[in-house]
Chains A and B, each alone.
Chain A
Amino acid sequence: MRKISRLGYEARLGWSLVAPALSVIALIAIFPLGWTVWESLHLHELRMPWLGQPFVGLANYVEIAKDPRFWAALAHTAFFTVVSISLELLIGLFLALAMNRAFRGRGFVRAAVLVPWAIPTVVAALLWRFIFESQGGIANALLVDVHVLKEPMVWFIETSTAWVPVILADVWKTTPFVALLLLAGLQNIDLSLYEAAAVDGANAWWQLRHITLPLLKPAILVTLIFRTLDGFRVFDLIYVLTGGGPGTSTEPVALYTFNALLQNLRFGYGSALSVVIFAITFGLALLYVRGLGVRLGGEET
């Protein structure tokens, strides 16, 4: 009896302590999400208030399905996400393996790589924009010096070359985060496994493939989730670096939605785009969690 009442007391106390935080989150995140869905079913042009806000059913979604600029934006987002995350995982894994060893200056390396992660994305984008800006910029000068380029080029005028600074900037900014998540995973691996393998004469490459990578799988998957979802909502970086240009050829879905909402003031259509982005992100997260069997932390084991 006493145990039950103690549990009842803990439950009541627990919920009452969690309640303020949960209600803040519900009020400012969940309630607006419902509102977005409601908006998306209406025609709502802030520029044309005389139209009112009539219910239009799924008309906005039908428009999205037929909107080539949306599909292009989706393709840009997917391209950006896949390319930058692949690079980040590769370099991040290398960095994590490096930081997991003891060597002189390890603390310095860890601090140095953490700084790009911590600065505003807008600043990171501007630093890289400046490096690639104009034919007289440093990127051109260096690339001509080492004979990669014959003559300076204008990076932001063509789609294929405009992606280079965008992806470089993202890799530069986010690889540290990836490396840290992977490093945390590495530090959970039992060292005696390596000792046993070494006794059996296994070389470093064999150990990496048969011990490190399989045991690192959970950390890699968690990193993949975080980064995929981040990639799909990329906004700041491209807003500053290319503005979605040239034309709209590097425009990601978040930027397209932002333009529909706050440039064109099409709140019905923009909200429908928001719902689509949310659904895609949610679907991806679910896919990772269910399909790949990722277990996210939180519950005590």
Chain B
Amino acid sequence: MTSVAAPPRPRRRTAGISWGAWLFGAALVVLILFTLFPFYWAIVASLTPDAALFRDPSLWPQQIILDHYRALFGERDFITPIRNSLIVAGTTTVFCLFVGTLAAYALARLEFKGKPLIMGFILAVTMFPQISIVSPLYLLLRSLHLIDTYPGLIMPYMTFAMPLTVWVLTGSIRQIPKDLEEAAHVDGATRRQSFTKILLPLAVPSLATTGILTFIYCWNEFLFALSFTLGPERQTVPVAIALFRGMYQVPWGEILAAAIVATAPVAALVLIFQRRIVQGLTAGAVKG
């Protein structure tokens, strides 16, 4: 997959590096700068005193302070939203993986009528506008006294996490060769044995990738978390950052420090598992 050669380009070989290649390289550099600049700028600003933020901004840090990060974990208690996010996203991911693996196995390996219908249904649900179920979920959670609780977020998160998990996992399991399982069946193994002894160990990378994707989606979710929490006690990271307020002015230094803290784990996951994430995302989405 990595060694796809560039399409041969005739009549240019002798000209050294062509205009086209220059232009291509330049555009790529501009795009990369455009991609990285906001991160760079947020890091610089999170290390700059508030008073200097909007006064003649300079691309290079003039003075580096850690006050914003200290305030974030001191008076701001940013630990609470991080804990909330970890609990909600983690629980949702584990539950979805557990239930989703069974479904994905059936959809990837078993032959039965109604399979295309189920896949279509699951895909349709992933495209659901979240806002269209906010009102009943709110009323439901209110009558169950689950507003501003962890279950009150985990349940709504299943609406997008479950179809996502099943969809990605099915695509991923389909790419695992069937030969070993078939050989086991010939030798008299039951479905249960071939699933637990053969497929499951082979599917560990698929499960990890899917888990990471589901976790990222839950970690980033905003609308449900904003609708179904009431205060800082149960707010998740995105809600806490979006609702940051200062006494007199917008506390940009702290907001950006929080943005960096919220981004770092996700960025790390993406950089480490880049190739797998790309495969997981595109498996099943596009086919030739």
Asked whether B111 is an interface residue with its Cβ less than 8 Å from the other chain, the reply is yes
Asked whether A69 is an interface residue with its Cβ less than 8 Å from the other chain, the reply is no
Among B65-73, B99-107, B198-206, the one that faces the other chain is B99-107
20 A-B pairs whose Cβ atoms sit less than 8 Å apart in the complex = A11-B110, A21-B99, A24-B162, A36-B135, A98-B27, A112-B35, A114-B274, A118-B216, A118-B266, A121-B238, A122-B220, A124-B38, A126-B255, A181-B286, A235-B131, A236-B222, A296-B123, A298-B120, A299-B119, A300-B174
Q: State in angstroms the CA–CA spacing of A28 and B191 once bound together.
A: 30
Q: State in angstroms the CA–CA spacing of A131 and B7 once bound together.
A: 39
Which secondary structure dominates chain B's binding surface? helix
Whether B56 and A233, one on each chain, are in contact in the complex, defined by CB atoms closer than 8 angstroms, is no
In whole Å, how far is A218's beta carbon from the nearest beta carbon of chain B? Answer: 7
Asked whether A172 is an interface residue with its Cβ less than 8 Å from the other chain, the reply is yes
Closest to B27 in A: A94
Total of A-B residue pairs, C-beta within 8 Å: 329
Partner of A100, one of B4, B39, B125, B252: B4
**Closest 7 interchain pairs by CB?**
A136-B54, A188-B288, A35-B136, A194-B7, A298-B119, A184-B282, A21-B103
In whole Å, how far is B264's beta carbon from the nearest beta carbon of chain A? Answer: 10
Whether A297 and B287, one on each chain, are in contact in the complex, defined by CB atoms closer than 8 angstroms, is yes
Additional A-B contacts beyond A109-B32, A262-B134 (4; CB < 8 A): A29-B125, A180-B282, A222-B285, A300-B174
Asked whether A68 is an interface residue with its Cβ less than 8 Å from the other chain, the reply is no
Partner of A114, one of B138, B171, B219, B270: B270
Residues 107 to 155 of chain A near chain B (Cβ within 8 Å): 107, 109-116, 118-124, 126-128, 130-131, 133-138, 141
Q: State in angstroms the CA–CA spacing of A191 and B31 once bound together.
A: 27
Whether A257 and B131, one on each chain, are in contact in the complex, defined by CB atoms closer than 8 angstroms, is yes
Known A-B contacts A24-B99, A25-B125, A235-B223; A180 and B132 likewise in contact (beta carbons under 8 Å): no
Query: Which of chain A's residues have a CB closer than 8 A to the CB of B56?
Result: 136, 141
Query: Which of chain A's residues have a CB closer than 8 A to the CB of B288?
Result: 185, 188-189, 218
In whole Å, how far is B124's beta carbon from the nearest beta carbon of chain A? Answer: 8
Whether B6 and A118, one on each chain, are in contact in the complex, defined by CB atoms closer than 8 angstroms, is no
Q: State in angstroms the CA–CA spacing of A116 and B138 once bound together.
A: 31
Whether A122 and B242, one on each chain, are in contact in the complex, defined by CB atoms closer than 8 angstroms, is yes
Known A-B contacts A28-B155, A28-B159; A114 and B278 likewise in contact (beta carbons under 8 Å): yes
Whether A120 and B28, one on each chain, are in contact in the complex, defined by CB atoms closer than 8 angstroms, is no
Whether A274 and B5, one on each chain, are in contact in the complex, defined by CB atoms closer than 8 angstroms, is no
Partner of A128, one of B38, B137, B158, B287: B38
Known A-B contacts A115-B271, A184-B285; A36 and B132 likewise in contact (beta carbons under 8 Å): yes
Query: Which of chain B's residues have a CB closer than 8 A to the CB of A102?
Result: 3-6
Asked whether A240 is an interface residue with its Cβ less than 8 Å from the other chain, the reply is yes
Query: Which of chain A's residues have a CB closer than 8 A to the CB of B174?
Result: 300
Query: Which of chain B's residues have a CB closer than 8 A to the CB of A100?
Result: 4, 6
Asked whether A285 is an interface residue with its Cβ less than 8 Å from the other chain, the reply is yes
Partner of A201, one of B10, B53, B269: B10
Asked whether B176 is an interface residue with its Cβ less than 8 Å from the other chain, the reply is no
Size class of the B contact interface (CB-based, 8 Å): 35 or more
Known A-B contacts A181-B282, A184-B285; A137 and B131 likewise in contact (beta carbons under 8 Å): no
Binding site for B on A (CB under 8 A): 7, 10-11, 13-15, 17-18, 20-22, 24-25, 28-33, 35-36, 39, 91, 94-95, 98, 100-102, 107, 109-116, 118-124, 126-128, 130-131, 133-138, 141, 172, 176-177, 180-181, 183-185, 187-189, 191, 194-195, 198, 201-204, 207, 218-219, 222, 225-226, 229, 232-233, 235-236, 239-240, 254, 257-258, 261-262, 267, 270-271, 274-275, 277-278, 281, 285, 295-301
Whether B4 and A180, one on each chain, are in contact in the complex, defined by CB atoms closer than 8 angstroms, is no
Partner of A130, one of B42, B238, B266, B284: B42
Whether A107 and B274, one on each chain, are in contact in the complex, defined by CB atoms closer than 8 angstroms, is yes
In whole Å, how far is B283's beta carbon from the nearest beta carbon of chain A? Answer: 8
Partner of A297, one of B10, B36, B171, B237: B171
Closest to A145 in B: B59
Closest to A190 in B: B288
Whether B241 and A126, one on each chain, are in contact in the complex, defined by CB atoms closer than 8 angstroms, is yes
In whole Å, how far is A43's beta carbon from the nearest beta carbon of chain B? Answer: 14
Whether B54 and A133, one on each chain, are in contact in the complex, defined by CB atoms closer than 8 angstroms, is yes
Known A-B contacts A13-B110, A130-B256; A24 and B158 likewise in contact (beta carbons under 8 Å): yes
In whole Å, how far is B262's beta carbon from the nearest beta carbon of chain A? Answer: 6
Residues 112 to 149 of chain B near chain A (Cβ within 8 Å): 112-116, 118-125, 127-140
Whether A198 and B54, one on each chain, are in contact in the complex, defined by CB atoms closer than 8 angstroms, is no
Asked whether B57 is an interface residue with its Cβ less than 8 Å from the other chain, the reply is yes
Whether A36 and B133, one on each chain, are in contact in the complex, defined by CB atoms closer than 8 angstroms, is yes
Whether B38 and A127, one on each chain, are in contact in the complex, defined by CB atoms closer than 8 angstroms, is yes
In whole Å, how far is A8's beta carbon from the nearest beta carbon of chain B? Answer: 9
Known A-B contacts A17-B103, A110-B274, A141-B57; A285 and B41 likewise in contact (beta carbons under 8 Å): no
Query: Which of chain A's residues have a CB closer than 8 A to the CB of B119?
Result: 298-299
Asked whether B208 is an interface residue with its Cβ less than 8 Å from the other chain, the reply is no
Asked whether B20 is an interface residue with its Cβ less than 8 Å from the other chain, the reply is yes
Query: Which of chain A's residues have a CB closer than 8 A to the CB of B110?
Result: 10-11, 13-14, 17
Partner of B112, one of A14, A122, A239: A14
Partner of B129, one of A109, A254, A296: A254
Residues 243 to 288 of chain B near chain A (Cβ within 8 Å): 250, 252, 255-256, 259, 262-263, 266-267, 269-271, 274, 277-278, 281-282, 284-288
Whether B118 and A204, one on each chain, are in contact in the complex, defined by CB atoms closer than 8 angstroms, is no
